Amino acid sequence: MHVPDWAGTLGEAYRLALTHLTGLPERPVGSGAGPADMRAALGGPVPDGPTPPAEVIAALAAAAEPGLVATASGRFFGFVFGGATPAALAADWLTATWDQNAGLYATSPAAAAVEEVAGGWLLDLLGLPPHASVGFVTGAQMANFTALAAARHEVLRRAGWDVERRGLIGAPPIRVVAGADRHDTIDRALRFLGIGTDAIVPVPVDDQGRMRADALGAAFAGHSGPMIVCAQAGNVNSGAVDPLDAIVDLAHEAGAWVHVDGAFGLWASVSPALRPLVAGAPRADSWATDAHKWLNVPYDSGLVFCAHPSAHRAAMSVRAVYLEHAEGGERDPLDHNPEFSRRARGFAVYAALRALGRTGMAALVERCCALARRFADQLGAADGVTVLNDVVLNQVLVRFDGPDERTRAVLDGVRRDGTCFMSGTTWQGRAAMRISVTNWSTDEADVDASVRTILKIADA
């Protein structure tokens, strides 16, 4: 077996990683690089011959550096991105080093067992039924897809139709009832599943983007066949959580499957103080969430849970003559997610959970929410600035007096300044700055410095 100079190559990567991580407090959070700069730095013809790996790594890092957005920074507040806790990042390094294929128990007993254990911990922490099945996927998009595949299986099975065998042509039509302000990944999952977006009956939402439970009756009316209700824990703009308790009651009464897209909001369940916000969630039929958001595991890492393990497995499992499928009660991960061969994402999730523990996880979520309120209090107290949403979780929507262009100009100015990074959105037809506090390392000083920068740019 050829043994390369591991120390030389990995030593270089380690040095560069440390430079990146320890430099986060000082570096601009955004990237000013344009596509031409990046292509020039990274491009060129196919290399004629080999280059020593340590040299490749040094050159790659140097070329990529101007195009990196410091998403691991405690002052990155864009989209809903988490950072990576030290334990999760280190476990992710080992995941790449070990290079396990997490498809089957036989190809990695360690990867299969770590998913089983971390999956059980997650069910406990999130307050979900202990018998629920768990899948480790790339993100909430695929978690929504997987959960809705299980839902599709089960609602059609109850209608006497085997969708796995017969497909959807000729199947009883499925109605999907979802809030008008649902995340776009629900629609995309329905496209992937052949259910199609025309199957959606949108339910009106309130001023925070929450599905109105009193409008569910009308959405159910005139349909007695298979039905799936997609509720949301954590509106991507406002952070608002649908009234899950009422939705689950009404949907189950109507014989529907309830799916909860809780990409970030489901993590409220880990905090005794915030748990009432997601009351009713444990009684749903399936759930999607992200580990790469509030658990602060490196990209990519999503989680799907299903209260009907047999439906989950019916939708996902696969048998191939050349594979060694589990026969003695072991867990084959590929029975729970759409991938076949797969990265062993469970190691980083396990390490993150083990390092934080129950109290650490609750503290992380509560700290982010408190810091989001700090943003809202300070910005809301400034002249000419309006906080548009009720800050119930980690999301803050801010608008600056004047036309939409003003809010967009402030956002552009903040990004150019580099102290912090926010993203924009359109909320109820008007431009807004969107602040998401999801990073484990963010502290009060980060919020205060960011507010000073935002107000300085808004006043300029």
Ligand X SMILES: Cc1ncc(COP(=O)(O)O)c(C=O)c1O
Footprint of ligand X on this chain (CB under 6 A)? 80, 139-141, 183, 185, 232, 234, 236, 261, 263-264, 290, 302
Helix axes 6-22, 53-64, angle to 10 degrees: 20
Neighbours of 70 (CB within 10 A): 22
When the beta carbons of 12 and 290 are compared against ligand X, the nearer one is: 290
DSSP notation for 224-237:
-S-EEEEEEBS-TT
The tokens for 303 are 């989680």
| Strand ordering across the sheet containing 175-179 | 133-137, 302-306, 286-290, 257-261, 227-232, 175-179, 200-203
* Closer residue to ligand X, CB minimum distance, 107 or 394: 394
Cβ atoms within 10 Å, residue 265: 31
| Nearer of residues 152 and 183 to ligand X, judged by Cβ | 183
Minimum CB distance to ligand X, residue 310 (Å): 26
Residue 304 C-beta: closest distance to ligand X, Å: 11
Q: Does residue 243 contact residue 211 with C-beta atoms inside 8 Å?
A: yes
Q: How far is the CB of 269 from ligand X (least distance, A)?
A: 15
Report, in Å, the least distance between residue 126 CB and ligand X.
15
Please, what is the minimum distance in Å from the beta carbon of residue 302 to ligand X?
Answer: 5
DSSP character at residue 431:
E
CA–CA dist 284, 148 (Å, integer): 13
Nearer to ligand X, 243 or 457 (CB): 243
Could you count the other beta carbons within 10 Å of the beta carbon of residue 21? 16
Q: Which helix (H) or strand (E) holds 400?
A: strand 395-400
At residue 313, what are phi and psi to the nearest 5 degrees? -70, -35
Is there a contact between 336 and 345 (Cβ–Cβ < 8 Å)? no
DSSP state of 213: G
Least separation, in Å, of the C-beta of 221 and ligand X?
Answer: 27
Closer CB to ligand X, 104 or 190, in the complex? 190
Encoded tokens for 372: 């989001």
**Min dist. Cβ of residue 298 to ligand X (A):** 13
The crossing angle, in degrees rounded to 10, of helices 444-459 and 404-417 is: 130
Beta carbons within 10 angstroms of residue 121's beta carbon: 16
φ, ψ of residue 230 to 5 degrees: the values are -105, 110
Q: Which of 205, 385 has the CB closer to ligand X? A: 205
Provide, rounded to whole angstroms, the least separation between the CB of residue 142 and ligand X.
7
Shortest distance, position 77 Cβ to ligand X, whole Å: 13
Give the tokens for residue 52.
């020593």
Output 112 or 435, the one with its CB closest to ligand X.
435
Which is closer to ligand X, CB of 57 or CB of 295?
A: 295
- In whole angstroms, give the CA distance from residue 422 to residue 447: 12
> From the CB of 20, what's the least distance to ligand X, in Å?
23
Residue nearest to ligand X as judged by C-beta position? 139
Please, which residue, 234 or 338, has the CB nearer to ligand X?
234
CA distance 377 to 392: 13
Residue with tokens 């959606």: 200
Nearer to ligand X, 140 or 195 (CB): 140
> Least Å distance between CB 297 and ligand X?
11
Nearer to ligand X, 83 or 234 (CB): 234
Tokens 């339910």, located at residue: 203
First to last CA, the chain: 64
